[in-house]
Amino acid sequence: MLIKSTEIIDTFAEAFGMWGSRVIVTGETPKWAMAAARSMTGFATSVIGCKCEAGIEGLLTEDETLDGRPGVSILLFAGSAKGLANRLVERVGQCVMTCPTTACFNGLDVEETVNVGGKLRYFGDGYQSSKLLGDQRLWRIPVMEGEFFVDESFGIQKAVGGGNFLVLGEDLKITLVAVEAAVEAMQMQGVILPFPDGVVRSGSKPGSKYKALPASTNDAYCPSLRGRALHTELPEEVTCVLEIVIDGLDESVVKEAMRVGIMAAAREGIRQITAGNYGGNLGQYHLQLHELLRG
Amino acid sequence: MKLLLHTLPSVPLETEVICPDKFIGNSLDAIGAMTVMHGNQACILTDFFTLTDDGLDTIKVEGDLSKVKLIGSEMTQGKIIINGSVGAHLGALMTGGEILVTGNAEDWVGREMSGGRIVIKGNAGHLVGSGVRGSDTGIQGGEIIIHGNAKNEVGNGMRRGLIVIGGNSGDFTGVNMKAGTIMVLGQLGQRPGASMVRGTIFSTQAAQLLPTFTYNTTYKPTFLKRYLIYLKKLGFTIDDAYLNGKYQSWSGDSLEMNKGEILLFSE
């Protein structure tokens, strides 16, 4: 399949079942809401090394948040419900509660919930108080600047992590332009791109010659190893490969993000777009590139 | 179901039977034959009301109901609409559903309720959301929304839930309060929060507090903005100054646990 002059390889991205949550952070100003959001989504690129994957889903206006203040919507994913609950408590506690003026609300209206504010409340040392508004229990935790207002429970749901595609370009400049265009096109509700500004250069393969490592560099796509690696997937003209990884609240939104991303990245100078998989034996989701591009 | 009052009761009429839970599964005749107490005399519903089955689940009650007590008592589901004013003990002990009154309500609105919502478009009498005399516990959940004024002892012994007074409240608002939230968009009467243990009393106006309350600070409580936005959605007009303003925070009652708070609009 060709899009413009870019060949789309007939392969699939192998994605995994994860657990996802949506966290709404608000602040007195957009700056402070974003400060907390950046902190909360920092060091959250891959579950392999960070125990979770997180990113900013979008910005929210005063009219879109529960407390009428500017906000940021964050998606956070982990491999298990328990792991996700732990990460939420850690990150809301360390990154949001600590940030001036912020409040933190659940953004997923689903059946399954985990306790977050109900655990953080103990920081209040007995001075905390709860409020019940409708069905929503919230905690007020006194802090030096005022109080931290946080939902007791946060919704979690089964999600999809590890959707991906690789952009194989003729040089660094054109490949960067292509992935930046893709990332911009992929800003949509329900997905995040957990790597720095949505792009990863250190794509990995499972396993390593070193026993302690669960993953290691994807040598088949490293241009500098074209002559050394046991196997290469790179056409001769390709000198740079960048990958975009997608986590989403369901399979359809991940596929849609991949579709618009691939469409945006395809251009002159991008030789191929392909996807990472492990032979189909590890992930529950096989996101076929040709199929999703045909719609 | 429509109920139209055709005979004005000369003494209070106790009508616990006017409740979705009691009507469900009964024929019009069976509902009409349900017992109501006119003072100490047992009567039936049709002695006072004309019943019409309009095929809807909502119960609509019309007429001068100011002497008709206990409508929606122990209600768990459904909706009652009262076109006009209603007597005492409306929605007593209710746990779910919704009651809407287009006029005024007498004393004891939502007495000891624990769920559901009561909306009064007019004024309410004394002891909104309170416990009966001798009981130390008032409303334990749910919402009572009064668009007008309320008289004394709003939320006496309140343990959970939300009471909103769109106008002024009388004396001893939140007396003996254990927890929950009382929001008065007008003026608080005398001695608000007397003997309160926990919970929040809020007012947009300055108030004279008991000496057993201690000033904490003046700040912008985030949670309050969340509540005020909620009230806007319920149909109240909330000035932007209240949404974005600062509030005096007072702790009390120090004769109790001193864990209650009164928030008064400052600037």
Inter-chain touch B229–A133, beta carbons under 8 Å: no
At position B91, the amino acid (one-letter code) is G
Q: How many domains does chain B have?
A: 1
* A171 shares its domain with A231: yes
Which of A129, A132, A147 shows the shortest C-beta gap to B222? A147
Nearest residue of A to residue B143 by CA position?
A: A134
The two tokens of residue A38 are 């950046």
Inter-chain touch B198–A147, beta carbons under 8 Å: no
CB A150 within 8 A of CB A26: no
Q: Which of A140, A104, A153, A135 minimizes the C-alpha distance to B198?
A: A140
Q: Cα dihedral sign for A39, A41, A46, A50?
A: positive
- Dump pLDDT digits (tens) for B211-258: 999 999 999 999 999 999 999 999 999 999 999 999 999 999 999 999
- A42 CA: distance to closest CA in chain B (Å): 25
Q: Of the residues A157, A190, A208, which one is the last residue of a structural domain?
A: A157
Q: Which of A177, A164, A163, A162 minimizes the C-alpha distance to A240?
A: A177
Q: Which of A252, A258, A132, A239 minimizes the C-alpha distance to A176?
A: A239
Q: Of the residues A157, A179, A197, which one is the last residue of a structural domain?
A: A157
Chain B positions touching chain A (beta carbons under 8 Å)? 141, 160-162, 180-181, 198, 200, 219-223, 225-227, 229-230, 243, 259, 261
> In this predicted complex, what is the ipTM?
0.91
* pLDDT above 80 (res A295): no
- Which range of residues forms the domain containing residue A197? 2-15+160-294
Which of B162, B180, B221 shows the shortest C-beta gap to A147? B221
Looking at beta carbons, which residues of chain B come within 8 Å of A103?
A: 222, 226
Inter-chain touch B226–A149, beta carbons under 8 Å: yes
**Amino acid A183: pLDDT:** 98
- Which range of residues forms the domain containing residue B250? 107-265
* A10 shares its domain with A23: no
Looking at beta carbons, which residues of chain A come within 8 Å of B180?
A: 132
Inter-chain touch A133–B227, beta carbons under 8 Å: yes
Which of A28, A67, A101 shows the shortest C-beta gap to B226? A67
How far apart CA A249 and CA A256 sit, in angstroms, is 12
pTM value > 0.90: yes
* pLDDT above 90 (res A23): yes
* A149 shares its domain with A206: no
Nearest residue of A to residue B219 by CA position?
A: A146
The verdict on residue B230 lying in a domain is: yes
Tell me what the pLDDT averaged over chain B comes to: 97
The verdict on residue B258 lying in a domain is: yes
* A29 shares its domain with A11: no
**Amino acid B251: pLDDT:** 98
* pLDDT above 90 (res B153): yes
**Amino acid B56: pLDDT:** 86
